[in-house]
Structure 1
Amino acid sequence: MNKKTLLFTALLVFGILQSGYTPPEEGMFPLSELHKLDLKKAGLKIDQKEIYNPNGTSLVDALVNVGGCTGSFISNEGLIITNHHCAFSAVQLASTPENDYLNKGLVAKSKEEEIEAKGLTCRITDSYEDVSNRVLGAVAQITDPSSRLQLINNTMKNIVNEAEQKDPTIKAEVSEMFIGKTYVLFRYKTILDVRLVYVPNRQIGEFGGETDNWVWPRHTGDFSFMRAYVSKDGKPTKYSKDNVPYTPKKFLKVNANGTDEEDFVFILGYPGRTFRHRPSEFITYQQKFVLPYTSELYDFQNQTMENAGKKDKRIEIKLATRIKRNANVMKNYRGKLQGLRGIDLIGQKKQEDAALAEFINNNVAEKAKYGNLMKDIDELYKVINGDANRDLWLSQIYNSTSLLAVSRNINNFKTALDAQPAAQKQGFFDQNINQVKQALSNSYSSFELDVDKTILKRMLNDAAAFSPQQKVNAVNKITSKGSNSAALIDQFIKHTFELSKLKNQDYVLNILLKNPKSISAYQDALLQLEQDLNKQIAALKPEKDRREGLLNKLMGDYVNVKEKFLKKDFIPDANSTLRLTYGYVRGYWPADATYMKPYTTIKGIIEKGATGNPDFGYPETIKTLWNAKDFGPFAKKDLNDVPVSFLYNMDTTGGNSGSPIMNANGELIGVNFDRAYGATINDYAWNESYSRSIGVDIRYVLWVATKIDKADFLIKEIGIKL
């Protein structure tokens, strides 16, 4: 760090202290909590109501949830900016070996050239309402855990149904903000027609690949542009050539000047799930079971799929989305494991829980109400841990094997069909067959026979090794015919896949599902395996419901008493609802004598490319332009280069991908896409010293759009003057 930066940082800290402003320890703030913040003291230059105004238009109205990510409108013609990896699945579905948009990119220079983003919709937060009193009031006198949970779920469904009947144009959801404690009704508008407008070359949008994933420094142009469409009368409708661009209530202004180090910045987005208000037993369960099991399984799956893709370009494209999703989770989970061990979060949580127990025991009123709380939590997790291997296996089996997902849909339809009176079978069949075929087509979209066989074999062998207390009945049925379980599994896989007609998508959709008689008559070993699995899952459900109901009550009590102990209100864990987080563009020290600056540049792309690692391939045009210092108006003067990615100390997690990064004036200056490796544990703990998020700098987005892809039409639409 140079003297100028040190001085600037010192002055900033001094100014913060002088102003009386204390930065938060952490915070993904719900809309309902924004009035408690003083963002002016933090550095915001616009009126705070311009961010969220329930009685008028505000920046919140420019936000969308798209494909599990966040995006934002940046023009009055429904243009959306988000991440490259958020559009990835839709680009993959649109790609063929002849039109390989996945690798070559897409530039639609007119609206007629835009391509349907299959599988993606846009969800816009319309309003929200706290319904905690109604939900919890319904269970005030209920003590049985299973009954309590069922009544909570039923009450939530009733609230949703009432909201949607009152306003049929919205989609309602009740979100649990604090488990067993607070519940909020959210009303959403959903746009069904989304199209791909501009997606950069994969060597730009995914530069660094898995080598750089969750790593800083980054040089990834992780951005893409889509457009939302509605019918001519402004209503959400499915894809049609007659649809017109959606006009949002609000769109963000793009500021091509970007940021400087220590600038105030904030994000609005839809962060997925965090678990910060949980006891040590929960963290232990994650560290011992969930994280290692899932990451190891996904590693095996990806090796299997990548090997299949090397043999055939069609297979490579077909499996690309699944591989990318697996790889992202795998590296994230391994980062979490490293982070949890590195800061000994389990040890920290145990100390916190011991202090909480002491507080309860030393307070007569609290002991009367919560005296058994910590003991009950400990005993519940002993039971949960005892079944962890089997439960995790059952949670992954259908995602692991495409034909088992196909079998489940067929069996469910077959069961429902058989339950109909004879006179009503055909009508039921006709009413539901298209929906069933669509679900099956989704499963077949990532199906490859050899991959399915290899992964299912691994899964069956894993289950065969479980202790008798955690046996999977369907697997025991296969291995009980002899002493060599591996050989019996091999034989089962070989014969089952040879004989099964489910591997033929055309047969399933056009012959098996031709009429009620054909589907009811069909028998298959894969269908039988799925039935056996489903039977055990159904048998385990009452106990699972009991545990979830008990956990719901215990976690609500845990948060309540811990807030009393610490004498403060917690920020609710993230749950995919709209949140705000704020902070500063700032580097960090990940290790002794190692300072990470907050900006990377095009120079770094070229340096990485020289290593020979295939993940660091880039279009040759980048080097040509860089050598000529052809940066246009997008260079950062003190770097004498175009900034590519940058760091900030905001509190983000999964779901914040694609979130707009805004400056003090509420203008878009970047797009969030990742966290540094040490910040993968943000789901469980956040700390300013190591929690850094990563965004693509808007200056790099605009430079690539103009200099590489000649997308000047896009620059004009978003109002940038070159």
Structure 2
Amino acid sequence: MQMKNWLLTSFLLIAVINTSYTNFDEGMFPLSDLSRANLKEAGLKISEKDIYNPGGIGLVDALVQVGGCSGSFISRHGLIITNHHCAFSAVQLASTPEHDYLTHGFVAQTRAQEIEAKGLTIRITIGYEDVSSKVLDAVIDINDPIERINIINNQQKLIAQEAERQDPNIKAEVSEMFIGKSYILFKYQMIEDVRLVYVPRRTIGEFGGETDNWIWPRHTGDFSFFRAYVGKDGKPAKFSKDNIPFRPKKHLKINTKGVNENDFVFILGYPGRTFRHRPAQYIQYQQEFLLPYIADLYDFQNRTMKDVGAGDRAMAINLATRIQRNANVMKNYQGKMKGLTTLNLLKHKQQEDQALATFINKMPSLQKKYSNLMPAIDSVYKEIFKEAKRELWLTQIHSASNLLNVARSLNTFKKSLTEIAIKENHWQKNMPKLTGYINDLYGSYEQSVDIIILARMLKDAYNLPRDQRVEAVDELFKNRTDFNNIARSIINSSKLGDKNNVDKMLTNMDSLIVFHDPILHLQQQIEQQISSLKTEQDRREGLLNKLMGDYVAVREQFLQKDFIPDANSTLRLTYGYIKGYSPVDATYMAPFTTIAGIIQKGNTGLPEFSYPAAIRDAWEAKNFGSFVKPNLQDVPVNILYDMDTTGGNSGSPIMNAKGELIGVNFDRTYDATINDYAWNESYSRSIGVDIRYVLWTAEKIDHADFILEEIAR
């Protein structure tokens, strides 16, 4: 009787805690958990085996991961649809002031016209295996946290290496599903030759710019088309004119009739990271340290790059990808900060953890095993908070300065040469990868930008607390606080500012080994401090690995449910319904936008709402073809739905109840940026581009006839 009363009290407490924040069931289902999704009851009209059929063929075989995005095959000849912003870096690398594909778009009318999508690879999930016991059995008797985390990490690598040894044609990775609790070996087929086929002009693919980013209503044609190529033997191969289109096991059928409000829809894709099964202290770290620092830093970087590139188109092209990535993260983090405050999530998490601690202490069997769990978690996070500012600075310094990033690559490679017995073999094997990475860094390098941003980082380091100093940077100050002059002096004195010097040096192994430079020296000193702090970081990570496994286990008992693992860039399914919402009082946001909205926004005169004149001409002529939505008497542009998505779901195919493609996911609403920590049906909305607008644009605006004919076959 006492136990029943305690459980009733616990559930009542959780109900009180969640009056403004309701922790609905998460919806990112791994392939192994599809049976838990109740898809048939939700509205699916095909069988689960039509989606995932081990040993057979299912919709998952049409899914790809391209870069950090998702995508899907839509023809038997390896044609892939994903987002415009997922193609952005490849388009930038292919662009010049003379051939500015970023601005004007790119349309291939034959396969021979398709161009290399540099820097992009594709991987396809071909199998998975639970290897939790193989990983965790190795640390059963290990109490030292550093040794524990090192063994776990090593076991994951060894298991993946063994899988690749058994099948050299695959890429294998062991992914942690629950920290310290479950691990899955995923096997991937890799495709290295990826080509641009069709990318709309920027005024379509990025319509609304940063003003509309993470905002609804939205009118963005965020789509692009790639093609996957392989060698004539069907195996992955580097880019070559002799390669042939990849033949996927499955490609998606396109449904041009679209969907209506409240229709069932689902997504397959590779969502990046969510953090829903973490304690209150994790939310506190995000809210007080990581989110505000990164958002402010990226805002500063982007303002700097935009100012410097304003009068130079070639420079603006070089900086475009970095600006776009920063802006996306910055606004995402700003949205998360707003969401954390609006939901008061930290307070609710703290109350839930307090209730969990009481639950443990009220049950003798749990008290014996977990009595120190919550205090131990709190103790580790106090240590994390104490080091947070310096550690954040150290994680950002190399991405802030391209030259320091170049220096890190060179120093790391130099060090590896001193540790490898057969240096020449190591040189020959790894030089192409090193030069490729460095070339990418110089592709977005601008000296004046590096100076200004490095000066900002020096100022941030100067203002760190006394017990969190960066020793290498302190050496630079010596009673000086003229950060801009210090940064200018560092960069101007370096030979790394001229890529030709680096190219010459990398032609000879001995030249690299004896090469010295002020920035190489500074980076080496910074790296030494990073290395010296790593032991303590590994200790904390090892402690949390064990503690988080216990935390999830006892929390599942407390809430009497089995959790869905947090997203971790592995293939997932989420489902929901085409649905509008009311983000603020007395408003309702409908779930479809139309071309009329593009015209309306264009009338504001703001540059981010510029669009091709051909769109207005076609709209005024009611030249909608077969892509009109009857009840709107217009072409639907973007759609809104309540599916559970996060970063990495960009490019995911939106499918109807029959598994047919009706759109491409590309964003969330501003309120839904909080999804990474908590999902709620009332405010979590995702945004996709309607396939009818994709095809209408391809036919009426860009005349991408070659692609349309292929899709129609």
Q: TM-score, normalised to structure 2's length? A: 0.95
Q: Deviations over 1:678-710 (max 9, x none)?
A: 000000000000000000001100110100011
Q: Which piece of structure 1 moves more, 40-49 or 388-397?
A: 40-49
Question: Which residue identity does 1:267 align to in structure 2?
Answer: I
Which residue is equivalent to 1:589? 582
Which residue is equivalent to 2:16? none
Distance in 1, Cα, partners of 2:184 & 2:427: 37
Q: Deviations over 1:432-458 (max 9, x none)?
A: 433332222122121111101110010
Which residue is equivalent to 1:622? 615
Match of 1:549 among 524, 542, 549: 542
Contact 1:309 1:315 in 2 (8 A): yes
Question: Which residue identity does 1:72 align to in structure 2?
Answer: S
Secondary structure of 1:138 counterpart = helix
Distance in 2, Cα, partners of 1:605 & 1:400: 36
Distance in 2, Cα, partners of 1:697 & 1:230: 30
Distance in 2, Cα, partners of 1:436 & 1:149: 29
Distance 1:173 1:257, change over 3 A: same
Distance in 1, Cα, partners of 2:208 & 2:413: 44
Q: Deviations over 1:115-151 (max 9, x none)?
A: 1000001100000000111111111111111111011
Secondary structure of 1:588 counterpart = coil
Which residue is equivalent to 1:506? 500
Question: Which residue identity does 2:669 align to in structure 1?
Answer: A
- 1:131-530 to structure 2, matched below 5 A, reads 131-419=131-419, 428-479=426-477, 481-482=478-479, 485-487=480-482, 489-510=483-504, 512-530=505-523
Distance in 2, Cα, partners of 1:649 & 1:426: 55
Distance in 2, Cα, partners of 1:428 & 1:176: 31
Distance in 2, Cα, partners of 1:272 & 1:121: 17
RMSD between aligned alpha carbons? Answer: 1.3
Contact 1:648 1:692 in 2 (8 A): yes
Secondary structure of 2:174 counterpart = strand
Q: CA deviation at 1:379?
A: 1.0
Distance in 2, Cα, partners of 1:698 & 1:432: 42
- Corresponding position: 1:680 with 2:673: yes
Distance in 2, Cα, partners of 1:420 & 1:613: 57
Distance in 1, Cα, partners of 2:423 & 2:352: 59
Question: Which residue identity does 2:110 align to in structure 1?
Answer: S
Question: Which residue identity does 1:124 align to in structure 2?
Answer: I
Contact 1:631 1:641 in 2 (8 A): yes
Secondary structure of 1:27 counterpart = coil
- Corresponding position: 1:701 with 2:690: no
Q: Deviations over 1:626-652 (max 9, x none)?
A: 111111011101101000001000000
Q: Deviations over 1:455-477 (max 9, x none)?
A: 00100111011111110011111
Distance in 2, Cα, partners of 1:26 & 1:432: 42
Secondary structure of 1:190 counterpart = strand
Secondary structure of 1:183 counterpart = strand
Which residue is equivalent to 1:717? 710
Distance in 2, Cα, partners of 1:78 & 1:163: 26
Contact 2:82 2:650 in 1 (8 A): yes
Contact 2:298 2:330 in 1 (8 A): yes
Contact 1:429 1:515 in 2 (8 A): no
Q: CA deviation at 1:152?
A: 0.6
Question: Which residue identity does 1:666 align to in structure 2?
Answer: G
Which residue is equivalent to 1:5? none
Q: CA deviation at 1:417?
A: 3.1
Secondary structure of 1:574 counterpart = coil
Question: Which residue identity does 1:478 align to in structure 2?
Answer: L
Distance 1:433 1:52, change over 3 A: closer
Q: Deviations over 1:502-522 (max 9, x none)?
A: 001011112x22323322333
Q: Deviations over 1:61-97 (max 9, x none)?
A: 0000001100000000000000000001000000000
Structure 2: which 5+ residue stretches go unaligned?
1-22
Distance in 2, Cα, partners of 1:652 & 1:631: 31
Distance in 2, Cα, partners of 1:419 & 1:249: 44
Q: CA deviation at 1:715?
A: 1.8
Match of 2:646 among 645, 653, 664: 653
Distance in 2, Cα, partners of 1:552 & 1:664: 39
- Corresponding position: 1:644 with 2:637: yes
Q: Deviations over 1:527-580 (max 9, x none)?
A: 111011011011111101000000111111100000011111000000000000
Secondary structure of 2:81 counterpart = strand
Contact 2:452 2:484 in 1 (8 A): no
Contact 1:230 1:245 in 2 (8 A): yes
Q: Deviations over 1:38-70 (max 9, x none)?
A: 211111111121011112100000000001100
> How many residues of Structure 1 are paired with residues of Structure 2 in the alignment?
691
Question: Which residue identity does 1:408 align to in structure 2?
Answer: R
Secondary structure of 1:433 counterpart = helix
Distance in 2, Cα, partners of 1:415 & 1:188: 31
Distance in 1, Cα, partners of 2:420 & 2:346: 52
Q: Deviations over 1:197-243 (max 9, x none)?
A: 01111100000000000000000000000000011111110100000
Question: Which residue identity does 2:499 align to in structure 1?
Answer: Q
Secondary structure of 2:703 counterpart = coil
Q: CA deviation at 1:714?
A: 1.5
Distance in 1, Cα, partners of 2:537 & 2:445: 31
Distance in 2, Cα, partners of 1:124 & 1:186: 10
Which residue is equivalent to 2:662? 669
Distance 1:691 1:452, change over 3 A: same
Distance 1:420 1:82, change over 3 A: closer
Question: Which residue identity does 1:492 align to in structure 2?
Answer: I
Q: Which piece of structure 1 moves more, 270-279 or 136-145?
A: 136-145
Q: TM-score, normalised to structure 1's length? A: 0.94
- 1:29-68 to structure 2, matched below 5 A, reads 29-68=29-68
Secondary structure of 1:141 counterpart = coil
Contact 1:271 1:654 in 2 (8 A): yes
Distance in 1, Cα, partners of 2:453 & 2:641: 40
Q: CA deviation at 1:193?
A: 0.4
Which residue is equivalent to 2:20? none
Question: Which residue identity does 2:436 align to in structure 1?
Answer: Q
Question: Which residue identity does 1:500 align to in structure 2?
Answer: S
Question: Which residue identity does 2:33 align to in structure 1?
Answer: E
Distance in 2, Cα, partners of 1:604 & 1:439: 41
Question: Which residue identity does 1:610 align to in structure 2?
Answer: N
Distance 1:130 1:446, change over 3 A: same
Contact 1:25 1:688 in 2 (8 A): no
Which residue is equivalent to 1:634? 627
Distance 1:357 1:497, change over 3 A: same
- Corresponding position: 1:598 with 2:596: no
Distance in 2, Cα, partners of 1:600 & 1:430: 54
Distance in 2, Cα, partners of 1:425 & 1:313: 42
Question: Which residue identity does 2:394 align to in structure 1?
Answer: L
Distance in 2, Cα, partners of 1:551 & 1:363: 23
Contact 2:62 2:73 in 1 (8 A): yes
Q: CA deviation at 1:418?
A: 4.0
Secondary structure of 1:88 counterpart = helix
Contact 2:138 2:151 in 1 (8 A): yes
Secondary structure of 1:239 counterpart = coil
Contact 2:24 2:680 in 1 (8 A): no
